[in-house]
Structure 1
Amino acid sequence: MIKSVNFNGRILPESENYLSHENRGLRYGDSLFEAIRVSANKIFFWEDHYLRLMASMRILRMDIPMNFTLEFLESEILKTVASNGLSNSSVRIRLTVFRNNGGLYLPETNEVSFCIEANVLPSPFYVMDEENYEVELFKDFYVNADMMSTLKTNNRILNVVGSVFAKENGYDNCILLNQKKEVVEFLNGNIFLVKANSITTPSLKDGCLNGILRKKLIEILGKLEDYDLQEVSISPFDLQKADELFLTNSITGIRSITKYRKKEFTNLVAKDLIGKLNAAARLT
């Protein structure tokens, strides 16, 4: 079966050249995206993804089309899933919104287009992967601790270079720092540290992505008496003091880290939380 994409509501073969060299996402990174998990036509945490996208478009001064409702974009996502024959499967959706062609740094228009892609995922729910997963700090470049860094834009060259560094040096992932040398996040997700019953994660003011799974996990932890959650600045020295270290993103859910430098970590809290995360996903 030929894979298809959804461009502004039109289902097109993936091989079709529907974008040009003038695309502002290509030229200037003038674009936002959401990575979304869908399982058997159920979109995980869809309202949270939608609200983040709308808020980010306003911050970037993009015009929000009148038809960009929660229901419209949901139907377009499911239409894309169906067009690829994946309605009964688990799917990774990438919904990209970019300002339309024209202009240099100053755009000719603030009107936007959208593109939706679908790819198969191996599991219908979040699963704890217990394979070895070693991480290291990436210190060649730093995250700016400002609101722009909290948005899921296409400006991801830091993450790209960091991913190349990780591969070249035999690491599974890297931890990004801001210019104050504070821990921000992983290359592809937010970071949580566990020490006894205390769980910490960087605050948005430190420059971390305003992640959907970060948000949901904070909501879940706020209702549990067993854990004390704090959004605080984290130093690299805190990493080796932790009992557990884990990554969160909308596709993986929770990914436990097994090793950072000489420190090896457990995953008992992550195992407990991933079940509660799956329960929350089923309720959305």
Structure 2
Amino acid sequence: MVNLNGSIIPSKEVKLGSENRAFKYGDGIFETIKIQNNKIIFFEDHYFRLMASMRMLRMKIPMRFTLEFLQEEILKTVKQITKESAIYRVRLTVYRKDGGLYLPNTNEVDYLIDVIPVNSVSKNTYKVDLYKDFYNYSGLLSTVKTTNRMINTLASVFADENDLDSCIILNENKRVVEATNGNIFIVTGTTIKTPPLTEGCIKGVIRKKIIEIVSKNPDYDIEETSISPFEIQKANEVFITNAITGIQSVTNYRKKKFSTEITCKLKNSLQMLSVIGV
């Protein structure tokens, strides 16, 4: 079952016509949201990112799109899932209404909420490598989760073909941007680095939380700075963040093996934040 503009219907009955703008032009955005033990994790952060993205893409925000309204719509959809789970993955997609060519007929929007149960969210062994066939171009638009994720798709295919769990995406300057499935952090000594938004990485909710956690910890320094692929080779630890997994330790990059000591501590801190809902 899915939620299309407030109506709960079987997923097979969703009719997206040939004029659907998310299909024709990638004219849509989405939020991937975690529900754990019937609680929406960090929903306020997801909500404000969604609103900022809609404004940036000049979509008309409906008056009913309050935080409370969308929260109720998500929970209403979850209740229709017959397979019970402790964790659910929610995708909230917002896209401009049908019609027009590059110039849309309207800036009003439709929304679609779909939910799937999640059995496992992290792996003990996690291998990555660089994806160098295409680049993610730096700039503000690249920080928005639009429905055009072609580089992530191609990099994921590459990872599958090469027995990898994920790939590291580079920008046109051949600097690290993110992983195919989330933001990336590297740990060298007590310094934790992640690419700044100006490099073209997604403005991740968990990325934001990790920066806040590390900033308050006197034992570590956080730097939002450009990262070269060579620095990954020299790092002590590497981890990937996204809304569903939270933190995924990277264990292998080419011939390099990473430790996970600091990453595990950050996992615990993030778990505490998600419990208290900060």
Same fold (TM over 0.5): yes
What is aligned with 2:156? 163
Q: Does structure 1 residue 58 correspond to structure 2 residue 52?
A: no
Within a 5 Å distance, the mapping from 1:109-124 to structure 2 comes to: 109-122=106-119
Task: State the identity %.
Answer: 53
* AA matched with 2:48: L
Secondary structure at the counterpart of residue 79 of structure 2: helix
Which amino acid letter does the alignment assign opposite residue 249 of structure 1? N
Do the aligned partners of 1:152 and 1:209 also contact (CA within 8 Å) in 2?
A: yes
- Show the counterpart of 1:8: 5
Q: 1:269 is paired with a residue of what secondary structure?
A: helix
Q: How does 1:113-262 map to 2 (within 5 A)?
A: 113-122=110-119, 129-130=123-124, 132-262=125-255
Tell me how far apart the structure 2 counterparts of residues 128 and 221 of structure 1 sit (CA, whole Å): 21
* 1:214-240 Cα shifts (integer Å, max 9, x gaps): 001111111111111100000011001
In the alignment of these two chains, the number of paired residues is 277
Offset from partner CA, 1:51-96 (integer Å, 9 cap, x none): 0000000000000000000000000000000111467732100000
Post-superposition shift, 1:40?
A: 2.5
CA contact (8 A) 2:85 2:117 kept: no
Residues 137 and 171 in structure 2, CA contact (< 8 A), matched pair in contact too? yes
The Cα of 1:154 is off from its aligned counterpart by 0.6
Structure 2 counterparts to residues 21-40 of structure 1, below 5 A:
21-40=18-37
Instruction: Structure 1: give runs of 5+ residues left out of the alignment.
Output: none
Give 4+ residue runs of structure 1 displaced > 6 Å after superposition.
none
Normalised to the residue count of structure 2, the TM-score between the two structures is 0.97
* Structure 2 unaligned regions, length at least 5: none
Q: Given the alignment of the two structures, is residue 281 of structure 1 paired with residue 267 of structure 2, yes or no?
A: no
Q: Residue 283 of structure 1: CA displacement?
A: 1.4
Matched residue type, 2:146: T
**Aligned with residue 48 of structure 1, among 39, 45, 68:** 45
Aligned to 2:103: 106
1:154 alignment partner, SS class: coil
Residue type of the alignment partner of 2:39:
K
Q: Retained in 2: the 8 A contact 1:204–1:210?
A: yes
Query: In the alignment, is the contact (CA less than 8 A) between 2:144 and 2:203 conserved in 1?
Result: yes
After superposition, the CA RMSD in angstroms is 1.2
Q: What is the DSSP-based 3-state SS (H/G/I as helix, E as strand, rest coil) of the residue aligned with 2:135? A: strand
Matched-pair contact (CA < 8 Å) for 1:258–1:266: yes
Structure 2 CA distance for aligned equivalents of residues 250 and 134 of structure 1: 20
1:96 partnered with 2:89 = no
